[in-house]
Structures are given as structure tokens and as C-alpha cells.
Amino acid sequence: MTTKILIIGACGQIGTELTTKLRSIYGNDNVIASDIRKLNNDIVNNGIFEVVNALDYNQIEHLIEQYQITDVYLMAALLSATAEKNPAFAWDLNMNSLFHVLNLAKAKKIKKIFWPSSIAVFGPTTPRENTPQFTIMEPTTVYGISKQTGERWCEYYHHQYGVDVRSVRYPGLISWTTEPGGGTTDYAVDIYHKALEDEKFECFLSEETKLPMMYMDDAIRATVEIMQADADDVKIRSSYNLAGISFTPDEIANEIKNTFQNSPYLTNQTSVKKLQTVGQHR
């Protein structure tokens, strides 16, 4: 059976690069990108694109039937920083969009689901070094709470109904091709833009707050590989830990200053000295 993929939230930070990768593997005609609005970008212009509301069960079901979808990648979500501004909507979007695809899989409309979790499921009581797969989870953000709850529902639907749902816990993702999407770790991308724009950068994290990060290409590879794995090899149906590197805002600011000191891309060489982080605890 031909793999036919629907990506919900294809125009987001991860969805953009994931769509490009999946189209290169499965072909443009077999990867249907969708999002809440139609943008003028490569994702829309270089393949099949549909406007869909992730909260509308009937719209999703219609696309699945229209294109004979086998696999759904649910990338639509309100991320950490943005979710704190509108907790009720964040909960609605992050949870009910997941229920829609889980219930469609339960009804045998689709075969496989990829749903991303996040390091946001962890909290201040979680071990910070070599974080275990199974450990204390006491998230302190709306986004983290929704992801922790989503993990439990994924595992429940697998055990109760046999739904083939797969997930990884993304760390902060660093990409040069797409804009940040409102996550806590997005400062690690935005700080480079500010450096090139000759601006001072203010980070809402303290200088010494160390968070896990990963290059986007590695995260996309992990996503593709877990979906291509045999079902019997996927032992964890909540979400797998995924790790790369960790660094602080202070460390990345110093590296930028050192690297860009003689860069031809900066019109004012002395301006790099202004680049700093200002800790603002939330």
C-alpha cells in the first residue's frame, strides 16, 4: 500500500522542513501539506496544499478520505511562550487536535500518527543531567501540561484501541531556514537574527539557564526514522527522549561575539559588543 501523508501544521517551524523532507522521500503527490492559512511559500507552491483547521474534525476526516491518507503528522500546536498569553486556546488547540487524529485512527481511517512531545513535559524537579526516559514530570507551563497530558492519551489509545501513534520529545530546535515559532528555546535562533540586524538582544531566560537544544536536521531525521520503524520495534507509546546538546544564553552570546567580531556580514564591527542577555524570570 502506498504511503500517503497528511501534515497538519505544515507551515510551522518544524512542519516546513519536515514537509520538504517527506516530499523528497515519498514524492510531492503523496505528501499533502495543510495549515490554518495559505501562505506564499515553497510548502504551498511546490506541492499539494490544503487549508484546514486542526480543531475541525470533519475537515480533517474529509482530507483523509479525499487523499486516502495512511499517515498523519500532527504538527499544529501553540508553543510555550505563545501559549502563556492564551492558556485556554492553547489547551483547546493542543489537546483537541490530538483527540481528532487519535479518534480517526481508532476508527481505522488512518494507520499511523506522529505527534510531537517536548522537553516542556519536564519541570524543575526533573533531573537535569542525563534525564531518564521515565522520571518525575511536573511541568510549569500550559504547553508542558498539554504535552504531558497528550503523552498519556497517546499511550492510552495505543493500549486500549491499538492505535499506532509514535512520538519524540523535541528539545529546542535550531534552524537557519525557518522563523522561530514562539517556543521557550527560540531565543537560540532569534539571537542570531538580532546580531546580524545590529541590535541588542534581551532574553527572558537568565544568563545561566541551560536548556537542551538540537539542530533541526537531526530532529527531522529522528521523526522520519521513528515513523519508518516496524511497529513492533516501537516499545514506548508515550514519547521517547531525544537529546542533542545543551548551552546557556550567556554561552551562546559569547560565542556570537567571538565569531562575529571580524565578520563581513556586520556593517558595524563594534556593535557586537552590545549583544548581551538580560535575565528576566517569568
**Catalytic residue positions, numbered:** 143
The answer to whether 214 touches 245, Cβ cutoff 8 Å, is yes
Query: What value, to the nearest 5°, has the Cα angle with vertex 190 and ends 185 and 191?
Result: 100
Q: Which residue has the cell 517569568?
A: 282
Reference 35, options 77, 65, 95; nearest CA is 77
Residue type at 29 in one-letter notation? D
3-state SS assignment for residue 62: helix
Instruction: Write phi, then psi, for 74 (nearest 5 degrees).
Output: -95, 95
How many alpha carbons lie under 13 Å from residue 47 in its C-beta half-sphere? 23
What is the C-alpha end-to-end distance of the chain, expressed in Å? Answer: 50
SS3 content of the chain, % helix, strand, coil (to 5): 45, 15, 40
Cα dihedral 195/200/206/212 (nearest 10): -20
3-state SS assignment for residue 152: helix
3-state SS assignment for residue 198: coil
The answer to whether 135 touches 122, Cβ cutoff 8 Å, is yes
